[in-house]
Amino acid sequence: MIADLGFFALFIALLLALYACCSAVVGQVRGEPRWIASARAATLLCFPLLTISALSIMYSLATLDFQLQYVAQVTSRSMPMYLRLTALWGGQSGSLVFWAWLMAAFTSGVMLRNWRRDRDLLPWVILVCMFTLAFFLVLIVFFENPFLRMWQGATGAVWTAMWQPAGAQAYLPVDGNGLNPLLRHPGMIIHPPVLYLGFVSFVVPFAFAIAALITGRSDDRWIRLTRRWSLVAWLFLSLGLILGSRWAYDVLGWGGYWGWDPVEIAAFMPWLTGTAFLHSVMIQEKRGLFKHWNMLLVILTYDLVIFGTFLTRSGVLSSVHSFAQSAIGPMFFAFIAITLSASLALLSWRWNTLRSEVEITSLLSREALFLLNNFLFISILVICFLGVIFPLASELLTGQQITVGPVYYESATGPLWAALLLLMGVAPLSAWRASTARTLGRAIWKPFIASLLILAALLIGGMRNPGALLGFWLCAFVGFVTLYEFWRGAAARSARGENFALALWRLVARNRRRYGGYIIHLGVVLLAIGIIGIELFQQETQGSLAPGERLQLGGYQIEFVSLIEFQTDDGRLVDRAVVDVYRDGRYVTQLYPRQDFYFESGQPMTISGLYNTWESDVYVLLVGWEPLSGQKATFKVYLNPLVNWVWTGGFVFILGTLVASWPERESIELAAPSRLRGRRVAAGARR
């Protein structure tokens, strides 16, 4: 009964989404506002209907309704309640329902705003949002239905159908397969919803951009309307990537935070174009430039979001992050082709109306440096895209999938990241419109000298790796430039009598977008320090140890103490080692690396033992054991320098995004003078 309710809610939502698309277009073409109002109402109704559908799935998961194929695939009796509920996004069909529910929620939020000033955009925003939602609902209803039940015929064969076929009876397995062990980590409970929020949020700026193209509006109104949406989308996408990195570090046994996995890159690519877009729109708002760029970037971001979802759910590429093989791959490919072709055709149609009224007059101006910023981000995107599709192209041409590894990505993108870091240090100090080497030099010399002192300190300390010296110097340069900008602004305010700390607080509060961006830059600096440390100075070793024997790595010694095997109440067979960690002969801690084997799914999971310091992580993996030969065990040990700077940088990065996206009080401040003028006029009339 609950499953039927969920399916009918899903199906009605699909019909309403299709109706909203048609009604919005008809209303606009015929000039009949009542049709557009009807489309808006249909759009708003999709959210409660999909809420019913999602709650129906969660109820079935919570009550272990194993007749539903989806429930049997992703839950088991041994799973705790919180894992059963989060299994909504733990499988293919459930995650698509969750995606559609978020899409409906965000679209409803857009529909509830005041459209009085932007009525010409409304029908086209409805069309784009509901067309996207309808696509996902078609996938769910006809290809990945989470409400399919399992039935057993007289011959014992089991198949799935929504309703009972003739001669069949309900099939109820004794237990389910359980959630994939990799998805039971706390990071994976949070990571997918956050990533989906980032994906879905970017649909809103795209919808407004397409509406602006259709209506021929060449101003920056659509950018101002979607600024908050873009920042929120970027915030969640960034947070999703950081959480995914932490999950990979804890669970996958890679010894690192990033493996250049195809699905990782698929989520990273819209972040690249979204980041370029957020930088580029500032130039359009300030100078009226980059209108073509902004349209192109938001179109690419939208289709890369769909492309990333396609790679994850189609099973066309092998990845620890992806779902199983599915028939929805061709549907995704067709949708991407249609939306990208239509969007680019619209952009081509309106190309001349988007021409800028001004030109870049100086190669060192802030506008020119932001344009270079765009080129660098797009270059990294092209490298990542070619690496992701290369296995598909090789299979098409040779019949065999040939993948490219981290060496390709790191060697190809490394110089581009270094150039982006340099731009982060130079661009904030360059002037708008016209900037010369002399004026830039006057603004930049102090942080430049300070960064050279850091470089000298590294050389005196014995560092000789050219890549590390360049990378750490760039980090120091960008960090000092950013701090210098905070100091200059706060010092100017404190010169008027304000306390320096209060001046700094008010400086950020009055220009959250600018200084929130600077906080993001500081987060990037910390991230870069951590990445340079682990990428260039990571050490590893492996060896088989008997109890009492040690492995040496750097200044650390890892001593194997014991190994124990036991079974847990939640259906795991755990092999846990006990190892003592010494540094320069002094005991520091005890770690417990282990391997968990899940009986339900027949899958193992490796959990590392971690000793954290600001300087480095000791990362110990249990990779094998021989219980019949004196409890001998094999360990793989990594020494990861500065890796915790990555997580700290991610936190600062998110903090800066929150500051930049927090609503400013400019409307209140602008309204105050008008109220004051109103009082003066009234007083004059009384006199």
pLDDT digits (tens, 9 = 90+) for 258-276: 888 888 898 899 999 999 9
Write down the pLDDT at residue 684: 46
Q: Is 687 exposed, middle or buried (0-12, 13-18, 19+ CB in 10 A)?
A: exposed
Lowest mean pLDDT segment, chosen from 58-62, 222-226, 297-301:
222-226
Three-class SS state of 456? helix
Question: Residue 26 contacts by C-beta under 8 Å, 6 or more apart in sequence?
Answer: 32, 35
Please report, rounded to a whole number, the percentage of residues in the chain having pLDDT higher than 90. Answer: 64
Average pLDDT rounded to a whole number, residues 469-498 = 92
Q: What is the sign, positive or negative, of the torsion defined by CA atoms of 673, 677, 682, 687? A: positive
| CA neighbor of 637 nearest in space, from 652, 617, 651, 656 | 617
Average pLDDT rounded to a whole number, residues 213-227 = 91
Q: How many CB atoms lie within 10 A of CB 375?
A: 13
Please report, rounded to a whole number, the percentage of residues in the chain having pLDDT higher than 70. Answer: 94
pLDDT band at 628 (very low <50, low <70, confident <90, very high): low
Stated as kind and residue range, the H or E segment containing 548 is none
Q: How many CB atoms lie within 10 A of CB 634?
A: 16
For 257-284, b/e burial (b = at least 16 CB within 10 A) is bbbbbbbbbbbbbbbbbbbbbbbbbbbb
Structural domain spans, the chain = 1-179, 184-355+365-382, 542-644
Q: Is the per-residue pLDDT at 508 higher than 80?
A: yes
pLDDT digits (tens, 9 = 90+) for 543-584: 999 999 999 999 999 999 999 999 988 788 999 999 999 999
Asked if residue 572 lies in contact with residue 560, where contact means CB atoms within 8 angstroms, the answer is: no
Instruction: Pick 492 or 399 by higher pLDDT.
Output: 492
Write down the pLDDT at residue 323: 45
pLDDT band at 17 (very low <50, low <70, confident <90, very high): very high
Write down the pLDDT at residue 525: 97
Q: Is 167 exposed, middle or buried (0-12, 13-18, 19+ CB in 10 A)?
A: exposed
Give the tokens for residue 573: 């067979």
Q: What is the mean pLDDT of the chain?
A: 89
Write down the pLDDT at residue 672: 42
Q: Is the per-residue pLDDT at 188 higher than 90?
A: no
- Rounded-to-integer distance, Cα 268 and Cα 380, Å: 10
- Rounded-to-integer distance, Cα 314 and Cα 316, Å: 5
Q: Is the per-residue pLDDT at 674 higher than 60?
A: no
Q: How far is CA 215 from CA 124, 347, 351, 576, in A?
A: 9, 12, 13, 64
Write down the pLDDT at residue 665: 57
pLDDT band at 317 (very low <50, low <70, confident <90, very high): low
Q: Is the per-residue pLDDT at 109 higher than 60?
A: yes
Beta strands in 149-236 (DSSP E): 149-152, 158-161, 169-170
pLDDT digits (tens, 9 = 90+) for 50-73: 999 999 999 999 999 999 999 999
Asked if residue 175 lies in contact with residue 76, where contact means CB atoms within 8 angstroms, the answer is: yes
Question: Residue 364 contacts by C-beta under 8 Å, 6 or more apart in sequence?
Answer: 430, 435, 436, 437, 440
pLDDT digits (tens, 9 = 90+) for 137-160: 999 999 999 999 999 988 888 989
- Size (the chain), residues: 687
pLDDT digits (tens, 9 = 90+) for 414-438: 999 999 999 999 998 898 887 888 8
pLDDT band at 11 (very low <50, low <70, confident <90, very high): very high
pLDDT band at 315 (very low <50, low <70, confident <90, very high): low
